[in-house]
Structure 1
Amino acid sequence: MSYLPPAASQPQYRAQGDDRTIAVLTHLSGLVGALISVGWLGFVGPLVVWLVYKDRNPFLRATSAGSFNFNLSMWLLNVAAWVCLFTVILIPVAIVLWAVAAVLLIVCHVLAVVRANRGEVYRYPLQLPVLQ
């Protein structure tokens, strides 16, 4: 008989009322902002939600912080791609970085929107923990 240790405890949040709608809009604002600004302003929408709701609601705080951290990581990936582009010899690396950022941005935000609609906090991969 095998024994499996309990999973690492992660805080459980309860989404109430319009919290799920605001969480969905938080994730969508990151995606739309990044797509409209070609990867430069995706972190603005989640940052605004974090500033407004950080002290009022732990679910929205965790959701907006995760979205901001992920979008900031994608912004840094975009900056790295531009640096590679300007070195001329690393143009293929820049193209790969942009493709990876685009796929991650779309896939992760769609997964986050689905989870937020269920009232769950989505843990983004590759995020720098700037906001908590």
Structure 2
Amino acid sequence: MSEDDRTMGMLVHLLALLTGIIGVLILWLVKKDQSRFVDHHGREALNFQLTLLLASFAAMMIGVVTVIGLFVVIPLIWGVGIAALVMEIMACLSANRGEWHRYPVAIRFIGDR
């Protein structure tokens, strides 16, 4: 695997930190056919971002529907955000080392080829 592949794999996870799902989606769509490694990391980052989006939406709906849910949901969203940040940094470092990383809690919306 080339240095460029490792850099692009790392960049996919960094874009998740900075732009959320949009940056990940754009980079993955542009680079997925050029490298199997970048395709894998792009899918992982995209699946994780979609999982976070779904979890955040569900938590907001619970908070809106129930008044007591606000006292539970707001700290939960903060905790999920901190855990997501840690997992994204770990994935970024794995890609930089050339390792095939999988997020432990991501729903596989976009499966492997």
Q: Could you say which TM-score interval applies, normalised by the shorter chain?
A: 0.7 to 0.9
Q: String of CA shifts for 1:16-67, please: whole Å, max 9, x gaps.
A: 131111111110110112xxxxxxxx12222112211222210000000000
- Larger RCO, structure (CA 8 Å, separation 6 or more): 2
Higher helix share: 2
CA RMSD of aligned residues (A): 1.4
CA distance, structure 2, for counterparts of residue 130 and residue 49 of structure 1: 18
Runs of 4+ in 1 over 2 A off after TM superposition: none
CA contact (8 A) 2:12 2:28 kept: no
Aligned length: 110
**Residue from 47, 57, 72 that aligns with 2:25:** 47
**Which amino acid is the alignment partner of residue 121 of structure 1?**
W
1:118 aligns with 2:97: yes
2:22 maps to 1:73: no
TM-score by length of 1: 0.76
Unaligned runs of 5+ in 1: 1-14, 34-41
Match of 1:29 in 2: 15
% identical equivalent positions: 35
Structure label with greater radius of gyration: 1
Alignment partner, residue 16 of structure 1: 2
CA distance in 2 between counterparts of 1:128 and 1:22 reads 23
Q: Distance in 2 between matches of 1:94 and 1:71?
A: 19
Give the Cα–Cα distance (whole angstroms) in 2 for the partners of residues 74 and 97 of structure 1. Answer: 12
- Cα deviation, residue 75, structure 1: 0.9
Return 5+ residue gaps in structure 2 as ranges. Answer: none
